[in-house]
C-alpha cells in the first residue's frame, strides 16, 4: 500500500473518499479516481479563493516605477512576471527614504472621467483593470522623475497553485487540512445514503466556518470615509 505524505493531495483524497463511504479502510484509490478527484479538489480550492481573502494569500509586491508610465501589469506576460493575482487588497507608495503614504482606489467610472492621465506628479490613486490572464493597474498621477525614485506597493490576494500530481503538497497552511478534507468529502457524496451526505455536509460547514472566522487579522481593522464621497451628486453614487 502506498503511504501518502501528510500534506499531499493524495492524503486529502484518500481521507475524503473514506469519509464519503467510497473507499474501504486500507484500500487504495484507483489511478482514475485519484485523477478525477484531484480535479474536483482544484475546482473547490479555486472557488474558495473568490469567497474572501485568506491571510496567507496576501502578498506585498515592490514595483519599480518609470517616469511618466501610468500602466503596470501583473501576470505571466506582465511588466511584473507572476501568476495573475486575484485582487488588490490595498496599495501604498514608498519614497526613496522609505516613507510611506496610502493610495486611494478608484473605479472605472472615476478613471474615465479624469481630464488628463498623462501629466506627471505625485501618485495618490490607482485603478485596477482585471483581465482574464493579466491584471492592469493604472496609477494617477503617472510618476514624476522624483516620484519614480520610490516604489509602488500593491498588496495582492494571490492564487493558490493548483495540484498537478497526486503527491503535490497543499499550498494551504496545515490548519486548513480538515476543511479541505471534509469539503471534498461533501462534494463526493452524490448518490450516497442520506446519512453520509448529511454528515459530510455538516462537517464541511463546521470546519470551513471555523477557519474562515479564525483566519483574520489579529489587530482590529479600521475604516475611513472615502475621500471622494463628497463629489457624488447623483443618488447612484
- Give tens-digit pLDDT for 169-205: 878 888 899 999 999 999 999 999 999 999 999 999 9
Q: Quick check: is 122 in a domain?
A: yes
- Residue written as grid cell 463629489: 231
What pLDDT is attached to residue 75? 95
**Number of structural domains found in the chain:** 2
Q: Could you tell me if 99 and 185 lie in one domain? A: no
Q: Could you tell me if 145 and 184 lie in one domain? A: no
CA distances from 72 to 63, 119, 124, 186 (A): 9, 16, 15, 41
Q: Could you tell me if 46 and 60 lie in one domain? A: no
CA distances from 40 to 16, 162, 183, 192 (A): 12, 11, 10, 17
Q: Could you tell me if 60 and 125 lie in one domain? A: yes
Please give the grid coordinates belonging to residue 208. Answer: 470551513
Q: Could you tell me if 65 and 78 lie in one domain? A: yes
Please give the grid coordinates belonging to residue 1. Answer: 500500500
Q: Could you tell me if 138 and 202 lie in one domain? A: no
- Which range marks the domain in which residue 13 is found? 9-54+172-214
Nearest to 208 by CA among 187, 233, 189: 187
Q: Could you tell me if 108 and 197 lie in one domain? A: no
Q: Could you tell me if 63 and 131 lie in one domain? A: yes
Q: Which stretches of the chain score pLDDT less than 50?
A: 1, 3, 231-237
What pLDDT is attached to residue 44? 94
Amino acid at each position: 500500500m502506498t503511504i501518502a505524505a501528510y500534506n499531499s493531495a493524495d492524503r486529502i483524497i484518500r481521507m475524503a473518499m473514506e469519509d464519503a463511504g467510497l473507499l474501504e479502510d486500507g484500500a487504495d484509490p484507483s489511478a482514475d479516481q485519484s485523477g478525477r478527484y484531484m480535479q474536483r479538489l482544484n475546482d473547490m480550492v479555486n472557488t474558495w479563493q473568490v469567497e474572501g481573502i485568506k491571510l496567507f494569500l496576501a502578498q506585498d509586491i515592490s514595483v519599480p516605477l518609470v517616469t511618466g508610465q501610468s500602466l503596470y501589469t501583473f501576470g505571466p506576460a506582465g511588466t511584473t512576471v507572476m501568476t495573475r493575482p486575484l485582487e488588490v487588497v490595498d496599495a501604498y507608495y514608498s519614497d526613496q527614504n522609505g516613507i510611506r503614504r496610502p493610495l486611494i482606489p478608484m473605479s472605472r467610472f472615476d478613471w474615465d472621467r479624469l481630464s488628463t492621465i498623462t501629466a506627471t506628479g505625485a501618485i495618490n490613486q490607482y485603478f485596477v483593470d482585471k483581465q482574464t490572464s493579466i491584471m492592469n493597474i493604472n496609477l494617477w498621477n503617472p510618476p514624476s522623475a522624483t516620484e519614480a525614485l520610490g516604489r509602488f506597493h500593491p498588496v495582492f490576494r494571490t492564487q493558490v497553485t493548483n495540484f498537478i500530481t497526486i503527491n503535490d503538497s497543499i499550498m494551504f497552511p496545515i490548519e486548513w487540512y480538515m476543511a479541505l478534507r471534509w469539503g471534498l468529502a461533501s462534494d463526493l457524496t452524490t448518490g450516497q445514503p442520506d446519512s453520509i451526505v448529511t454528515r459530510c455536509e455538516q462537517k464541511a460547514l463546521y470546519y470551513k466556518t471555523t477557519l474562515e472566522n479564525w483566519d483574520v487579522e489579529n489587530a482590529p481593522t479600521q475604516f475611513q470615509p472615502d475621500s471622494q464621497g463628497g463629489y457624488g451628486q447623483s443618488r447612484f453614487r
